[in-house]
Amino acid sequence: MSAEYKLSSPPVTLDNADAKAKPLLESAKANLGFVPNMYAHMAKAPGVLDTYLHGYALFRQDSGFSPPEQEVVFLTISRENGCDYCMSAHSMIAEKASKVPADVLEALRSGEPIPDDRLAALSTFTSVMFRTRGMPSRDDVDAFLTAGFEEQHILQIILAMAVKTLSNYANHLNQPELDSAFSGHAWEA
């Protein structure tokens, strides 16, 4: 999905980055081997990229979710927001790094029921949090907890929603070209 309006300023490169953006892009290149186009566009407002990277790292390190569960959360939010770029990137990460089962990944990408009860409950609750703007019903919370999750996981979903809102909305406005690393997992809303 593309926004009606696209920001006109070009992406930031390592060559033209200011003092705030340059270390963020250098760190991304050191960690990933390249600077994702999404980061290059987010670096136009270094605080956005810095906040994204910091929150993303905290969710990855401290959420209490397994890597496949983390991808379910990120993919569910990105699908809810209609972010082609993040759906593509997280699909690749889900398959190659986080080892999300293929049938679960396909269900997340297509919007079909997830064939794993725990991961389905996680995706459903993440969608509830998104759609209710963080005001789930008691029944929604009970179903989530009954699936084996804890209350602290609810707050971690909020962190993931904040991180994905930064990237999804920035991508809507910047419309970054999908990096070749993710092109085998291209997705469109």
User: Against a cut of 0.85, is the pTM above it?
Assistant: yes
Provide the terminal-to-terminal Cα distance of the chain, rounded to the nearest Å: 5
C-alpha to C-alpha distance for 154 and 37, rounded to whole angstroms: 30
C-alpha to C-alpha distance for 100 and 80, rounded to whole angstroms: 19
pLDDT score, position 2: 65
Pick the CATH number of 65-185 from 1.20.1290.10, 1.10.10.10, 1.10.275.10, 2.40.40.20: 1.20.1290.10
Q: Are 96 and 65 in contact (CB under 8 A)?
A: no
C-alpha to C-alpha distance for 149 and 146, rounded to whole angstroms: 7
Residue 162's Cβ-side half-sphere holds a number of Cα atoms within 13 Å equal to 17
pLDDT score, position 4: 85
In tens digits, what is the pLDDT along the chain, a chain of 189 residues? 567 899 999 999 999 999 999 999 999 999 999 999 999 999 999 999 999 999 999 999 999 999 999 999 999 999 999 999 999 999 999 999 999 999 999 999 999 999 999 999 999 999 999 999 999 999 999 999 999 999 999 999 999 999 999 999 999 999 999 999 999 999 998
Q: How does DSSP classify residue 109?
A: H
C-alpha to C-alpha distance for 140 and 65, rounded to whole angstroms: 19
The 10 Å CB-count burial string (b at 16+, else e) for 9-20 is: eebbeeeebeee
Distance of CA 74 to the CA centre of its chain: 4
Domain ranges in the chain are 65-185
Give residue 5's region: left, alpha or beta (phi > 0; psi -120 to 50).
Answer: beta
- Token pair of 123 as six digits: 């995706």
Phi first, then psi: what are they for 10, rounded to 5°?
Answer: -75, 160
Q: Are 119 and 68 in contact (CB under 8 A)?
A: yes
pLDDT score, position 53: 97
